[in-house]
Amino acid sequence: MATSRFAVIAGAGAGTGAALARRFAQKYPVFLLARSSASYDTTVEEIKSTGGQAYGVPADISSAQGVKMAFEEIEQKVGKDASCAVALFNASARPAWKPFLDLTEEDFDASYAISGKGAFHFSQATIPLLLRAAKQDQSEHPPTLIFTGATAALRGSANLAAFAPAKFAGRALAQSLAREFGPQGVHVAHVIVDGIIDLPGSKELLKDAGPNAKLDPNAIADSYWYLHSQPPSAFTQELDLRPHSEKW
């Protein structure tokens, strides 16, 4: 592979993940991480067919070993000296909407395994590669680590007592890393995605709410790209994204 900088996306399934992959593949070779190759195969093919470079890497992001193996596979492709331009942590467990007393320890762990532990492992794997980029050619966009958050990263809710703690944890991690690695030239940001994402699976939701009542995944991806393009003199640490008609 000729290029020295790559992008990596955890949670690169359908929807936002695929849109992020397509967007960042316009400039970088993109590695798509997901538990199952079914999540990313179509996107990888689509990117390749339009002239981009994309690689699927099956990975259990919640385990140190799983993340280690994935990045070894990436290293084999990009070489030992490659650096990371963009790392996007877009993985998330599915919220367990349940009364608190019905939640099992497994429910609680499942959210945390991704948004807490997974985010931690992914950050530990990518930050050294982002720091490497920060020490190189300053004419490039600053290396960027972005976490996908949710409304549940800002407020707890009844019946959301497993999901909200994990999303809060991810936001705290993003803030901590921004404060530590910003001065070293790595841009760390957190995006609050607040609303329903417009996907085949959400077709029936908000049907009568008029146009633009759901978040277009490509618009989300454009905002991530914008964050990546910000120069070090004016980094955004957090922004929200929601449909214009969303109540909040």
* Residue 89 in the binding site for a second copy (CB under 8 A): no
- Collapse the DSSP code of 34 into the 3-class scheme (helix H, G, I; strand E, B; otherwise coil) and give the result: strand
Interactions with a second copy, residue window 132-151 (CB under 8 A) = 142
Angle of CA points 245, 88, 188, to nearest 5°: 90
60 binds a second copy (CB under 8 A): no
- Of 4 and 172, CB closest to a second copy: 172
- Which residue number, 69 or 103, has a Cβ lying nearer to a second copy? 103
Task: Report the residue number, 49 or 137, with the smaller CB distance to a second copy.
Answer: 137
Q: Which residues in the 172-231 window bind a second copy by CB under 8 A?
A: 172-183, 185, 187, 198, 211-216, 219-220, 222-223, 226, 230-231
Q: Is 20 in the site for a second copy (CB under 8 A)?
A: no
Closest by CA position to 11, among listed 51, 42, 52, 56 = 56
Residue 99 in contact with a second copy, rule: CB under 8 A: yes
Amino acid at 208: D
Is the CB of residue 114 less than 8 Å from the CB of residue 63?
A: no
Taking a C-beta distance cutoff of 8 angstroms, is the pair 133, 83 a contact? Answer: yes
Closest alpha carbon to 197 in 178, 212, 186, 210? 212
Is 241 a binding residue for a second copy by CB under 8 A? The answer is: yes
CB of 121 to a second copy, least distance (A): 8
| Of residues 18 and 173, the one with the C-beta less far from a second copy | 173
Other Cβ atoms within 10 Å of 37 Cβ, number: 12
